[in-house]
Amino acid sequence: MVPSLARHASFGAAAALKRALAWPARVAAARRTMNALARMSDYELRDIGLTRQDVADATALPLDADPSALLVRRRAGRERASPGRTDLAA
């Protein structure tokens, strides 16, 4: 039983190390995405269901927070608020 516990702990440590080493890449990818969103016009943002304020709020999150979760929640909230509307850019 102890060898399997040690193996499990070893896998957990390896997974934690992998997450730690991948953190800079995840942060860089999130920043690239946020920069791309910040460069979009208000019309383009509205077309994908976001506002300029959504982008500003997402950039205020801590570095290790995933901004996509906030943006998805905001967009989903707007979709629920206007159920019959299919063209958000209009």
pLDDT in tens, 20-72: 888 888 888 888 989 999 999 999 999 999 999 999 999 999 887 888 899 99
Q: Where are the alpha helices (DSSP H) in the chain?
A: 2-39, 42-47, 52-59, 67-81
Is residue 14, in this structure, part of any structural domain at all? no
- Which residues are CB-contacts of 39 (< 8 A; sequence separation ≥ 6)? none
Is residue 2, in this structure, part of any structural domain at all? no
What residues make up the domain containing 56?
27-81
Is residue 9, in this structure, part of any structural domain at all? no
Q: Cα–Cα distance between 56 and 52 in angstroms, integer?
A: 6
Is residue 58, in this structure, part of any structural domain at all? yes
User: Residue 85 has what pLDDT?
Assistant: 59
Is residue 46, in this structure, part of any structural domain at all? yes
In the chain, the number of structural domains is 1
| 8 A C-beta contact, residue 51 and residue 37 | no
On whether the pTM is more than 0.85, the answer is: no
Confidence class of residue 12 from pLDDT cuts 50, 70 and 90?
Answer: confident
Is residue 12, in this structure, part of any structural domain at all? no
Q: List the one residue out of 41, 66, 65, 62 whose CA is nearest residue 51.
A: 41
Is residue 71, in this structure, part of any structural domain at all? yes
